[in-house]
Amino acid sequence: MVKIGIDLGGTKIEVIALDEGGREILRRRVETPQGDYHGTLGMITRLVEEAEADLGQRGTVGIGTPGAISRATGLLKNSNSVCLNRQPVLQDVQTLLNRTVRISNDANCFALSEATDGAGVGAQVVFGVIVGTGTGGGVVIDGKIITGPNAIAGEWGHNPLPWPRNDERPGPPCYCGQSGCIETFLSGPGMSGDHERATGECLKPRDIVKHALSGDPSAEATLRRYEDRMARSLAHVINILDPDVIVLGGGMSNIHRLYERVPRLWGGYVFSDRVDTRLVAPKHGDSSGVRGAAWLWPAGTGVEDRRQDKR
């Protein structure tokens, strides 16, 4: 049975189809209709119908999107595509596609993708982290996403930076209303802001890394602060969840030295004489979100038709 995955982002909607073995057999990308809830639903429907016409078969449909479906109300919340918030996205898509659809947070889909056939394959507990413009996280145990009653399992980015030093308190203000959240230090803008506070120089993370590699001591110092903060932040997760594997995703996961340096530092914070957790780069890179959406229906599962919802 073919598995259709949709990554519903604020600027792009991407669709992918995988065969049972995880081989990609179709991929398409379109612009997200801006500020148009019904237009977005129509686009999703069209993408699925066209994919199925091209493939000559019906498939399962999974959707990954920022935010989460509230268990209490069934409505989407916390999405940066604000026109989707407080809408019955899942119910409406199921009605339009006449089948049961699964939907999950994009960081959860990332973790699921890497746990299913990526860098975390074979591991019992996988913590997937997206460190880019923000910091998302998802937990997969025995191949299943852990959601939780509040639909926020794995959302570590708005916890405070652990073991803060005096010059890290209260920390930069965060859009969530708190100050000193992990996201304000570990996101891409967080690294740029930290470098600017230390040097007065406004640089993108990519350039800070480049300058550090060419021997610039202030850029090197910024990277070292970043690595220690990531080590502290992940040590906190290890102390609670004790994952086998932590997979980094998002733009900051392209900083290669993190995989060597951060595990060297986190031993100083983890409550254990040794730390066997692995910190690894994603196998599927930017495709992990949409692949994970497809894997919301694991190998061996099929389409469940639905009768029209009576609301």
Nearer to Zn ion among residue 178 and residue 199 (C-beta): 178
**Contact positions toward Zn ion, by CB under 5 A?**
158, 174, 176, 178, 181
Nearer to Zn ion among residue 9 and residue 190 (C-beta): 190
Taking the complex as a whole, the smallest distance from the CB of residue 174 to Zn ion amounts, in Å, to 3
120-121-122-125 Cα dihedral, nearest 10 degrees: 40
Evaluate whether 108 touches 64 at the Cβ level (below 8 Å): yes
DSSP assignment letter at 86:
T
Taking the complex as a whole, the smallest distance from the CB of residue 184 to Zn ion amounts, in Å, to 7
Say how far apart CA 114 and CA 280 lie, in whole Å: 10
Give Dmax over CA atoms of the chain in angstroms.
65
Taking the complex as a whole, the smallest distance from the CB of residue 177 to Zn ion amounts, in Å, to 7
Evaluate whether 32 touches 81 at the Cβ level (below 8 Å): yes
Say how far apart CA 143 and CA 123 lie, in whole Å: 9
Enumerate the β-bridge partners of residue 62: 5, 102
Taking the complex as a whole, the smallest distance from the CB of residue 187 to Zn ion amounts, in Å, to 10
Taking the complex as a whole, the smallest distance from the CB of residue 152 to Zn ion amounts, in Å, to 13
Nearer to Zn ion among residue 100 and residue 159 (C-beta): 159
Taking the complex as a whole, the smallest distance from the CB of residue 234 to Zn ion amounts, in Å, to 17
Taking the complex as a whole, the smallest distance from the CB of residue 235 to Zn ion amounts, in Å, to 19
Nearer to Zn ion among residue 176 and residue 202 (C-beta): 176
Smallest Cα–Cα separation from 4: which of 31, 21, 26? 26
Nearer to Zn ion among residue 181 and residue 238 (C-beta): 181
Nearer to Zn ion among residue 145 and residue 181 (C-beta): 181
DSSP assignment letter at 253:
G
Say how far apart CA 99 and CA 210 lie, in whole Å: 49
Evaluate whether 208 touches 181 at the Cβ level (below 8 Å): no
Nearer to Zn ion among residue 70 and residue 178 (C-beta): 178
Name the strands in the sheet holding 278-280, side by side, starting at the edge strand that comes first in the sequence: 144-146, 135-141, 125-131, 245-249, 278-280
